[in-house]
Structure 1
């Protein structure tokens, strides 16, 4: 059971011959449930929005939120790394991630909003609609996650991550201008492709959560699953911001 989401690529979500590792379960009341994961996802979303309002208001009050936003992004990334190796600590790491990542989301959203008025509500709407469509397709079995599906999505995600990493490094030390910069048709095409791949990751996340419930993983894995889903949604939202900003320049 593999997922490109680094959160779900740990032994906590791996299965081998129906044996689940790193998960000791006592009774059903202490196991992961879909409803529990959904509730925790909503709680994380509320925390993220509340936190995002801080750097959002800073921007429109004439203050510079860059340091706070970047600090939030760094701390959020560190919390993700810790939770990847210590999923049993997800109960406080997941809310912490939502709060610190919210600082980043609020700051970057405010900057985009100043440059392109109205873009944030568009990006939020696109993210919400994409999530609901993917959830509906998965829930009603229109899209089935199998090994081939996983392999394709994982390969595409790794290709995107590799491209972004090398483009960033080259732009730091050379005069190289990455293709996805600017608002050329190639750049817009790349952003559209990345959004499609990010959306496909939602199917993998839904599948991993469902499998976790079927395997009767411990209750704390609800926080872990919610955190993994939030990571994908944040990525999807940022990519929508990027695409819409490019289209606004046309």
Structure 2
């Protein structure tokens, strides 16, 4: 019961012994949809402010730092997820909205493409998983987890190099075919994490986990979906260039 998503680990879904309602797959998807509404609301507001000529960099920074803080709070205090997960989504929206509006001004139409691809990938993988066309085996799970950890390490190294040495990991942000290939690989791993998340949530449902964990599971899905959207947006940028 391991997921590549660091927010969804094996110890999360303890069995519900309270006698109350248990989490369901449909309920988790519903909570995910609500989190999307919060994210889209603040993202739309930030986008509107950018169109009006407002410098949205401050809102982006608040969203980035705030979403990180509330993500950590949610991970360590899972019972608070019904409150902290919507706050996380709203703060994430400020960052995503600012980023998207800036990129859209440079490449008109790119955000609609990125959103369409992200939702299309999510819907397609959910259908394939529901029909059991895609099956999560132990080897599949280990491969995706290892690749995800490797990507996180590379991004961390790139961040350190950029801050302290004013340089970057070679080809990671390049617009050539090697850089595009790397971006496609990272986006594919982000998409495969969705499959692991679907599988993990289904296992939690079978174990009759507590109802409030639907919010926590939705929060985990949001992390993966935001990551996938950003990678798709970066890939489309490189292709436009």
SS at match of 1:7: coil
Structure-1 residue corresponding to 2:116 = 125
Say whether the 8 Å CA contact 1:123–1:237 is kept in structure 2: yes
**What's the CA shift for 1:171?**
2.1
SS at match of 2:191: helix
Distance in 2 (CA, whole Å) between partners of 1:131 and 1:124 is 11
Which range is displaced more, 30-39 or 198-207?
30-39
CA deviation string 1:69-121 (max 9, x = no partner): 12111111111111111111111011111110011110000010011111000
Is 1:2 aligned to 2:2, yes or no? Answer: yes
Is 1:195 aligned to 2:195, yes or no? Answer: no
Distance in 2 (CA, whole Å) between partners of 1:121 and 1:168 is 28
**What's the CA shift for 1:227?**
0.7
Is 1:241 aligned to 2:226, yes or no? Answer: no
SS at match of 2:168: coil
Structure-1 residue corresponding to 2:11 = 11
Structure-1 residue corresponding to 2:130 = 139
Stretches of 4+ aligned residues off by more than 6 angstroms: none
**What's the CA shift for 1:195?**
0.6
Distance in 1 (CA, whole Å) between partners of 2:121 and 2:4 is 19
Is 1:180 aligned to 2:185, yes or no? Answer: no
Structure-2 residue corresponding to 1:153 = 144
2:162 paired residue among 163, 168, 171: 171
Say whether the 8 Å CA contact 1:10–1:84 is kept in structure 2: no
Distance in 2 (CA, whole Å) between partners of 1:176 and 1:68 is 26
2:80 paired residue among 81, 85, 89: 89
Structure-2 residue corresponding to 1:216 = 208
Distance in 1 (CA, whole Å) between partners of 2:176 and 2:8 is 35
Structure-2 residue corresponding to 1:227 = 219
Is 1:48 aligned to 2:59, yes or no? Answer: no
CA deviation string 1:33-89 (max 9, x = no partner): 112111111111111101101111111111111111121111111111111111111
TM-score, scaled to structure 1: 0.93
RMSD of aligned alpha carbons: 1.2
2:98 paired residue among 80, 96, 107: 107
